Amino acid sequence: MLKRFLYLDSAAVTDYLSALEGGIRDSFQTKIATGGSKEGGLDAKVLKGTLARSRADEELLIMSDTPQARFERLLKLAAADPEAAGWVEITDPEVELVEAGTGAMIDVECEVYVPDTIKALSSSGGITEALDVLEALLPAAQTFGFDTTGLPGKKEREGVKKFAAALGGNQVAVGELDDSEWQLAGQLKAAFINGEIEGRARVVGKVSTRWNKGTWKPLLALPGTSLLPRAERRALERKRPTEDEEGNYLEGPAVMLDILAIYR
């Protein structure tokens, strides 16, 4: 199957593959030889004969080793020896996700989305620009007596900007599995995002942690991510969400992944 990679962490692919292959190749060469014969008929009054000429041509094909090619080799090696690779293809999440320990590499089909909070705070969400416009207009609004009740205060605006700056172009993806309460989540590094993530897709990633049903983790402070400073992550983790805040959290049972690839 030809794969359309929406996300591919080429650095991680190289690390995992080099561990299985005992090194990493930069390029490889292939020699293509073609052989044959040509016969030419000579017809003369004095001499009639047949001239046969053999010919051999050789082409040297040099190909670079792309991240996509490395991922395909990684899949083949994992399929050949899933135990050595710690590879688990998820077909029954209620069993396999419970048993998959930290460090297991899981391969699963699911519905992928980026939470609205993350979208809004990302560099393409426009919230920083909107807050800048609001701050520019506030003095004029106050001068003309416009009601600014309900608008975020300076402290709130600075807090949102701080979150947005921490995110940069990075995102958080969440995967919902069919007929299961289990969810997946993982940080997406901006440099490796190749297309629109949302929709039905295949996700491959390494398990970093998990949490059980009834436990909530804030999307901006998920374990294993670096979207916020440690002190702020810990403060958010200690706070149980109100009903209005639940959209900014992820409830277990859930697995946090170091996402390697998302493709369809």
pLDDT in tens, 120-144: 766 555 555 555 555 565 566 566 6
- Name the pLDDT band for 256 (thresholds 50, 70, 90): very high
Least confident of 107-111, 156-160, 218-222: 156-160
Mean pLDDT of the chain, nearest integer = 77
Distance in angstroms (rounded) separating the CA atoms of residues 237 and 203: 26
Question: For residue range 47-84, what is the model confidence (pLDDT) as tens digits?
Answer: 444 444 444 566 666 667 788 999 999 999 998 989 88
Q: Tell me what the mean pLDDT of segment 237-252 comes to.
A: 81
The answer to whether the beta carbons of residues 164 and 124 sit under 8 Å apart is no
Tell me the one-letter amino acid at 157. R
pLDDT at 51: 43
User: Nearest-CA neighbor of 264 among 186, 194, 191?
Assistant: 194
Enter the DSSP assignment of 103.
Answer: T
The answer to whether the beta carbons of residues 5 and 201 sit under 8 Å apart is no
> How far, CA to CA in Å, does 68 sit from each of 11, 64, 171, 257?
12, 11, 22, 20
- Chain position carrying tokens 């109100």: 242
